Amino acid sequence: MLKIYHNPRCRKSREALKLIEEKQLEYEIILYLETPPDKEELKQILKKINLQPSALLRKNEAQWKALPNRKTMSEEEILEALILYPKLIERPIVIGQNKGVLARPIDNLIKFLKQD
């Protein structure tokens, strides 16, 4: 069973969900803006997708630009910002049993689904 951290307002996220549905895979939708991951869950996600917090960061969001120390933040501080402001989390993220992928671009998801 896959988990997709999804924002229905995001075109890329909708594309990823459509691909999963077309392949008739079992999945669970996590509306991460409504039920944001806590610190431990986000750490597990990052571990499965093998990325640092900064790689998940949406740097064009107003909440990010409003942080005065954003240019000097450590990965741990960025992790805290992602928890505090889940809108900063890049999407979609698709998680399988032991691995996951930041499905942006969609080619990342296509490659990931071929592996599993």
Residue-wise pLDDT for 66-87, tens only, equals 999 999 999 999 999 999 999 9
Report which DSSP code applies to 95: E
d(CA 107, CA 75): 26
Would you say 56 and 46 are in contact if contact means Cβ atoms under 8 Å apart?
yes
Active-site residue set: 10
**Tokens 């790689």 -> residue:** 55
Delineate the domains of the chain, giving CATH numbers in brackets.
2-115 (3.40.30.10)
- Neighbour count for residue 105 (Cβ, 10 Å): 11
Q: Is 22 exposed, middle or buried (0-12, 13-18, 19+ CB in 10 A)?
A: exposed
Six-digit token string for 104: 């942006």
Residue 115 — pLDDT band, cuts 50, 70, 90? confident
